[in-house]
Each structure stands twice: as structure tokens, then as C-alpha cells.
Structure 1
């Protein structure tokens, strides 16, 4: 199975859209055309009473709609009701539409969830060695898939999974709500996601992904729940979303240590804008720590971050390899954040003892500008690696109002950069350069200061 996945993923590289991405993926929003064929899940015997298990109905409906792939595609309509189901797989040229008041609920019995191979860029389950539970809604090697609705809801009922995780009783790594693998032209919109066992939306090895107007929520105490995770994916837009989770709100990733290095697929050409984010114990926007395939050409703009442990955070460690570079973050409003900006070269664990400790990550050409923060405890914390310092960190027009609990403004080690009009005044290491380098590969507002 793993060998087949690797071969198919290699072939999928050929269907990526050409172009440099431009850094502004959200400027070209896809136009959703009506599908010529529509069926209701009711036609396949589903019962939305909150008690009946409807897995067979979803599977049969999608199998039937697969026959319309070469006829313009089809839509599966889920009407108002509560629809309990196990995992099911989507097909190409399909729209899954949830009507207002429609709630898809994932079965809370782990025995109802299939176990699948680990992702090749991770080499093992992230939480437990070996396989991982298949996510609630899945897609593999698909083209032209839409998951949308009239503000319908997908609820993972994650409490049982969180308790298994916290008690170290998991047999396999937790499932996600939506996981699309090696797929292109994907849209997720106009839905509410609740109580994911782990991640809510996980596009991995995907191209042309547009996620907009979704609401994602998990309780603050839910362990390591994450909202949206673009993973070894390119040409990604995330916009107009509201996310509040237990750990990270949005996390960009690209593989784990030697497995991510060998797989070698970066996350690049990502645009995030007009989002409201809350992350109880993690970061509202996180880069890494699993970033061994690289992360580059990212534009984050016009976002609101609040009530969180960390605002913007870059995470990596020895053995990761890879890079995080050519990233611009601007027009940020923060409120009630413990650490506004953080970058650590000492964050994260390793999948096994086969990693190369000499595989050093690169953090370079990061621009943060036009930021305003209130009730901040620590303005910034940068801890690079002595063998691979963080370089070209450029800060401009940043004002952070610290609270009375603040005893440290900035912490810096093994970092070099430039700053202009930053309050409170940053550490000397961030005044090393006389100007900020430009980021020519990102088509955005100039980064030259």
C-alpha cells in the first residue's frame, strides 16, 4: 500500500497547475458551477434521526455519483437532520452539499474507524507509531471536489478521542474531520466544523485548495486540536474564516525529519487573509514544527488574533532539515496574546532515532510589518540554532502594548535581522542589518523598507 501511494503521488506531480503562484492565491477565487446531476442522501436509505448509522448510504450514494464524473459531475445533497456515519470517501467531480440544519456526526466508536497507512512524508503515525485512523471524510487522488453548504455542520464529537489521547490509550493516531490526499482543485466553504478528534481540515500533497467562509471550533481544553493544516500542498487560499481551537488555529506543515526530507514536497504559494483566530494553548498561525519538505512563498494579511498563547510562531529543531523562507505577514491585530511573535529552533520531537542530527533547518527572509497588539505579555522570542541562525528577520511598523504582568519584552539568541518603528524596542540582534531584504518571488506589497 505504501509503495503504491508513493508511485501515485509521483504521478500526481504532473497535474499541478503551472505558474509561480504569485503569493496571492485568494485573488483568483474559483467559480462554483452547479452540477448537472443532484441526488439526496435520502434516496439511498439514510435516516437523519441522530441514531441511525448511515455509512452504507453515504458510500452507495457516492459510488452511484461516480458514474457522472465524465458528464459534468454531480452533487450529493444532505438535507436538514442529524446524520451519523463512519468514514467515507469522496470521488472526483463531486459536490457534497450540507443544507442549513444538516449535521454530519462521526461515530464515536473507534472500532468503526478503519486504520490506514501512515503518510509517507511522516513515516509513522504522528501520535502513535504505525498506522492511523482514517478521517471522517476522505479523498485520494481526486480532481474537482467541493465540500460546501448552507452553513451545515460536520461534528467530530471528539471528546472520546481526546480522553483516549490524554490517557495514552490510543491504539493509532487520531482521525481528522476532512483529509484530502494528492488531490487538486479542492474547495471547502460555507460550513461549520465542530469538535475534531485532531485536525478539522487537512489537505496533504494537494494543489489549488480554496478554503473560505468556514467556522471551526473545539474547546480550549481539547488536546492538540488544530483548525486548518495545509501540508506539503501548494496554491492554497484560506480566507474569511473564524477558528477557535485547543492548540493551533492554522498550521503549515511539510513532513517530519528524514521522511519529509526524502519525500521532498514543500508547502508553498499560500495566501491567508481576513481570518479571526484563537488558539488556547498553541499558536494562531504556526509554521512547523514538521517542515522538513520546506515552507515558502506565504502571504498572511489582514488577520485578527486574540485570546491565545502565541500569535505568530515558527517552530523547528535539529534533524528537521527543510526551510521556512520568503514569508510576509502584515496588517495584524492582536489582543490578549501571551507571546506575540515567536521562533524556536528547539521545538518538536522526532519520529524515531533514524533522523540526521546534522540536517539543520533554515529560517530566512521573514517579514512582519504593520502589526498592532494590546494586552501582550512578551513581545517577541527568537531562539535560533547556533549552527543555523535565523537570518533576515525583518520587523517594521509594529506596536505592542504590554500588560502589567510583562517582565520580558524581547528574548533573542542566534538571530539576525532588521527593525524599524518597532515598540517596545527589540533586542540588538534584530538591528543587525541596515535595511530589509526584498522578497521578489512573492507578488505582494513591497517588502523593501
Structure 2
């Protein structure tokens, strides 16, 4: 009884973030804000009553399929007003677990909830994937239209994702490849890709997609069912959701995917996928409101912490931004990005606050990505106190040509009209950033019809191979920027940049060209406190750039 009370008491603590909402003001010159008031998320509260899955016939031998017993415990708990469904020590083999309102699924420290390798346990369902209505296998853990739910404890939830994922030989060691081939499945004719089943190989060979197009039904996907890898945990349109303390690992696709949820708290999790796991994202928060993400560790095969809101016209019609989000005190190891927005952000993203996080070994640190056709407005993004080490590519990246070819400096540019399908990045404040090791420090690339706008970069120290590139951007304000990039020539490249200011700039003493201004569409580039006024050879002008646009003070 004491243990049960402790479990319940851990959930009863109300979430107390300071203040009710952040006040922000925008002017033509600068955006100011205060960190003293942040958005709030409300946590669920549960009755102390506990329902042990053993009482419903579950067997912890790793062999017995416990799907019916676990779901019966959850249904019974919910029908009696809610409480705690306890997963005690042991290995509990199961198929899909269906959450119910007012239930806290609690995983003890010595418990492993292991999902079955049998694809037939997971029926085809209609879901959402990469922002589009899609055919999917049912998620191992799922809930729809629920309220007051949680998964807590300190045990492990294992999605058995390796049995779902095809994998390239180049992603594995020789020993791993031999083990994978010996496990069954099929290998491509060129001996480069392993497939878990014939259905997966068929989908790959025919280049089949997952989207449910008009006129299609789930039956149209039966022949490639195994290819439709589920996300490990999906909560759709739920309120007051808590994920705390648990290890979520080995997901078939994305690991944690809350969609259209309100009052979501993700705290002190360890989220782990192999680094070769394609689409092996850690956390994808899609079209959610009032979110707290704190104290988590991510080590995954794709983006670590990612903000989404639907894709293209479908996402715009939904019209639900991800908003009022606090992300703090998280560590991200392997991942495509540490903190990411996009690329499926067609419903928008706003009022997001990221601070006191560390990224170590991610491909990109801060990653903001979109493309023509997405639409959506990403704005009021505040980032502070981020530490990065050994970033593979860019420390800070804004890219509006995600999975698209950008024109070169000398190419003729076709500028399409601005429509609802034109994406927008504006009003970001990024402050107090340190990166020790990356290929490039800063990369900003907008569209000629819609530049990246109003970005403040303050007190930033980046030790990288290359410096910064700013292309198709307007209102980039930098202050106290240090780019220690010994291999950079130039240190800062600007193309089609307007109203670019830099006050306080340090660079490697052996740098050659510091600024390269490119093209005839630049204006008002001002640099002060950078020791450039008497060093004209440190600045070059190419491809028709006018010297008058650059002022060194």
C-alpha cells in the first residue's frame, strides 16, 4: 500500500511554471521578451487505486503473450474511475496496448514491456505519419480522445523495432550484417539492403508510399503491410498527458508521437534507438498546445526533439500550430538534430522556449527546416543557453530548401509568387550558445520570395571548420559573435542579404577573407567592432556585388 501511495503521489504534484504566459513585443528594429513568464502545462491527477496486471493473468516469462490481460487491466482501471495499472518486475511480452482515460501505466524499475515480433498482432489502421493521413500498423502503445493519462516509472518499454526496419549494409559492421542476414528476411539482389519480409521488399522495389490517397482504403495496403512501420507511442487528441521516468527504446519508426494533444508533459525519459534506425526520431510533438519537455536524454537514429504541425495542404487545412512549449534541461546524443522544427510545419509553430540543453554528437544542433509547398508560419522561437560538442554538420541551421535543390550564386532564379503554400521563418532569438566542434557554425538560407526574417543571434561562440553562410535573409542581427573557424575562407559568406548587422565580432587571427559579399541583391550590411575598417583586403565582393552595401565601423 505504501508503494502504491508513492506511485500516486508522484503524479499529484501540480506543474508550476512561472507566470501565465510570455509577453513579447515586436518592433521594426528589435524584438524584446522576458524569460520571467513562461507557458504552463497542467499535469494529470490519478486515484491511488492500483491494478496489478498479474491479477488479470499476465505472466512475466517473456514467452506468454499478455495483450488481453494488460488491456483488461487498463479497461477495468478506467471503468472504476481510474488509478494505476502496475507492470511489476519481469519481461512482459505483449501486442498493442490501448490506453484509457484516467489511467497511469506504471512500469517498475525491473520491468520490461516487450512488444511482439509477430506482425500479425498489429492490425492496419488509419493514422498520421510525416504530417499526412497514412496507412499504418497499429502502434504498440496508442490512445485517442483520452484525458488524464500517463506512462510513468523507471522500467523499459521496448518496441522490438529491429524486426520491422530494413537496413543498409553500409550502416552496420560486418558482424552486425552477418547476424542480420542470418536472422531471416531477404537481401536485395546487390547484397546492399536487408528486408525483414517479402512485403517490405515489395514496397521498397515498387517505391510505394504510406499516404492514404483519395479513393484508397486500408485493403489497398495489405500486400505491403509489413512496410508500414508503427510509431512506438501515439496519443491523438488527448488532454493532460504525462510521460515520466521510463526508458522508451527500439521503436519501429518514430518513438514518441503526440498529435493534437493539450497539456503534455515529457519528463526524465531515456529515449533510445539505434543510430542506423531510419525515421527513428525520439520525440515528435505535432500540433500540440501547452507542452513541457524537461530532463530527458535522447540517443536516436533521426531527429531528437522535433516540433511538427502537419504537411502541406493537409496541415494548413488542419490549422493547428504547435504552441506554448517549454523545452529545458535535455541532453541529446546521436540524432539528426538536437532541437528541430519541421519540415512538416504547415500548421505553424509559435511561442517555443528552449534553454539549458546539451547536444553531443548530433548531425545538426539547432535545426529549422522547411520547403516550398509547406506554408505555415514559424515564429516567436526563443533559444538560450545551449551547449554543443562534436556536431557533425551545422551548429545552427535555417534551411527553406529541405530536400530541394537551391540555385547557385550565378544561376538565374525563378521567383514564384507568395501564396499560402509559402513557408515563413521569422522572429527567432538565439542567445548564449557555445559549440566546440562542428563542420559549419551558422547556415541561413531562405527563399527569394520569402526570406528568413528577423533573427537575433547574441553572445555565440562557435569553434568550427567553416564559419557562417547567410543567403536570402533579411534582418539578421548578430551581437558578440565568435567564429573560430581556421579552415574558413571566407569566414562569413553573404548572398542576397538585407539589413545584416554584426556588432562585436571575433574570428581566427590567421583568417584570410573575413566577409564575402555575393550578388547584386544585397543591401545594408553593417559590421562594427570587428577590426575591419582598416583591413579592406578582408572583404571581397563577387558576382556583381556593390561595395557600397557593406559598411565597416
TM-score (structure 1 length as normaliser): 0.83
Alignment of 1:374-389 (within 5 A): 374-389=436-451
Which of 458, 464, 468 pairs up with 1:410?
468
3-state SS of the aligned residue for 1:42? helix
Deviation of 1:122 (Å): 3.5
| Cα distance, 1:318 vs structure 2 | 0.5
User: Which whole-Å CA distance do the structure 2 matches of 1:36 and 1:118 have between them?
Assistant: 33
Question: What are the within-5 Å matches in structure 2 for residues 145-294 of structure 1?
Answer: 145-149=149-153, 151-163=154-166, 167=195, 169=201, 171=224, 172-280=227-335, 282-294=336-348
Question: Does the Cα contact within 8 Å between 1:319 and 1:357 map onto a contact in 2?
Answer: no
Cα gap change, 1:27/1:205 in structure 2, threshold over 3 Å: closer, same or farther? closer
CA distance in 2, matches of 1:27, 1:260: 24
CA RMSD across the alignment: 2.4
Query: Could you say if the C-alpha distance between residues 74 and 239 of structure 1 is closer, same or farther in structure 2, counting changes exceeding 3 Å?
Result: same
For the residue of structure 1 that corresponds to 2:355, the secondary structure is strand
Paired position in structure 2 for 1:16: none
Which residue among 30, 34, 54 is the counterpart of 1:42? 54
Q: Is the 8 A contact 1:419 1:426 kept in 2?
A: no
Structure-2 separation of matches of 1:27 and 1:364? 20
- The aligned runs of 1:7-26 (5 Å cut-off) are 21-22=21-22
In structure 2, C-alpha distance between the alignment counterparts of 1:270 and 1:187, rounded to whole Å:
14
Alpha-carbon distance between aligned partners in 1 of 2:38 and 2:96, rounded to the nearest angstrom: 30
Q: TM-score, normalised by structure 2?
A: 0.68
Q: Does 1:391 align with 2:400?
A: no
CA distance in 1, matches of 2:78, 2:450: 50
In structure 2, relative to structure 1, the CA distance for the partners of 1:291 and 1:20 (3 Å cut) is: farther
Instruction: Decide which structure has the larger Cα Rg and report it.
Output: 2
Retained in 2: the 8 A contact 1:26–1:237?
Answer: no
The aligned residue for residue 148 of structure 2 is: 144
Deviant stretches of 4+, over 4 Å: 23-34, 164-168, 425-428
Shift of 1:34: 5.3
The residue that corresponds to 1:442 in the other structure is: none
CA offsets 1:376-403 (integer angstroms, 9 cap, x no match): 210011111111111001100000012x
Contact in 2 for aligned 1:25/1:236 (Cα 8 Å): no
Query: In 2, distance between residues paired with 1:357 and 1:100?
Result: 54
Structure 1 CA distance for aligned equivalents of residues 150 and 345 of structure 2: 27
Asked whether 1:331 is paired with 2:385, we answer: yes
Q: Contact 1:121–1:263 (CA<8 Å) still a contact in 2?
A: no
Structure 1 partner of 2:87: 78
Q: Is 1:93 the counterpart of 2:102 in the alignment?
A: yes
Q: Distance in 2 between matches of 1:231 and 1:24?
A: 26
- Stretch moving more, 75-84 or 56-65: 56-65
- Aligned-pair distance for 1:173? 3.0
Q: 1:7 aligns to what? A: none
